[in-house]
Amino acid sequence: MEAVRKGASVIKAGGTVIFPTETVYGLGANALSAEACLKVFRAKNRPADNPLIVHVCDMEGFLRVAENPPEGLVSALKALWPGPLTVLVRKRDVVPDVTTGGSPYVAVRMPDNPLALALIRESGVPIAAPSANLATRPSIVDSSQAIREMYGRVDLIYDCGPVRIGVESTILDMRGGTPRLLRPGGYPVEFLERHFGEIEVTDEARGLRLSPVALTPGMKYRHYSPSVQMFMADVDTIRELCATGRKDITVIAEHSVCGVCRADCIDLGLTMEDVARNLFSAFLALETRGSRAGFIQKFGEGGLGLAIMNRIRKASSGEVHSLGEALALVGDGPSGIGGGALKGH
């Protein structure tokens, strides 16, 4: 409890705190203070028009920041919160425009993590918190990553180890009649449709294109990118890359592939839950391998696969369709063209 009080005192004083949720680590500040939220933008080097998600600890907190939400939405949220769902609704005036990137709408969620909920409750205010990484970088899913990347940029970091889910919350646009998926995440669309009926899945949500407007995080700007170029490939091409035995490329794939891989390989695990949990850590691990490039397995888009592919598409530099195309990007070997990791996007 002392740790919670310490974090809350930082929030009350207008400071910044990195804390765990069930999805990723968040970089939080008082959502009702424009000055505090500006510190979040500065710490992350985040564009000012990229909104922050507001985290609450109860329905009273939601109604404090959301203006006249429909009764049906409130009933659904009571069944789904706390959990990895963010909803976009009209904001009350108490929420500064800085928090929402100038938008009249606010993205709100209730995290399913006891420390996060206790921190919000003890602080007495909703907490605005994007993922606790520098802008465009892979999201933070372990406190050790937060300490390496953000130490000295924030006032307090909770050292709580790895998170449970590993991809951010699902974001639904609830401003109209049919809910619209703005970002896939920890709650699959198929599950949410049991509560909301049909959900429109946009090309932006699939990661096929960026939006000209950032209604919520993950829509307008490139995200999640490791510093070494990474390319998508289907599982057959990934297996062929594994068979080359080359150590100047890194393959990122599920366990059944990595178990027989002769090239450098980062194992994403056995299940789709494993893949989601390990994905961002794999992006960061790629940066440490000294590889010319990474090649990551594509996945089906059912269930958590939609969120996983959204992150892969946004983090990658495109798709390769054959072994020859992949090898042409990196040259003939350590003495070939390039001489090191391919940088930039």
Annotated binding-site positions for ATP: 46, 50, 131, 139, 183, 224
Binding site for L-threonine, by residue number, is: 23, 55, 109, 129, 169
Q: Which of 213, 259, 5 is nearest to 122 (CA)?
A: 5
Q: Round to whole Å and give the CA distance between 271 and 275.
A: 6
Burial of 76 (0-12, 13-18, 19+ CB in 10 A): buried
Q: How far apart are CA 251 and CA 242, in angstroms?
A: 7
Burial of 46 (0-12, 13-18, 19+ CB in 10 A): buried
Position 48, amino acid: A
Contacts of residue 33, Cβ cutoff 8 Å, sequence gap at least 6:
14, 96, 125
291: left (phi over 0), alpha (psi -120 to 50) or beta: beta
Cβ neighbours for 236, distance < 8 A, ≥ 6 positions apart: none
Binding annotation: 23, 46, 50, 55, 109, 129, 131, 139, 169, 183, 224
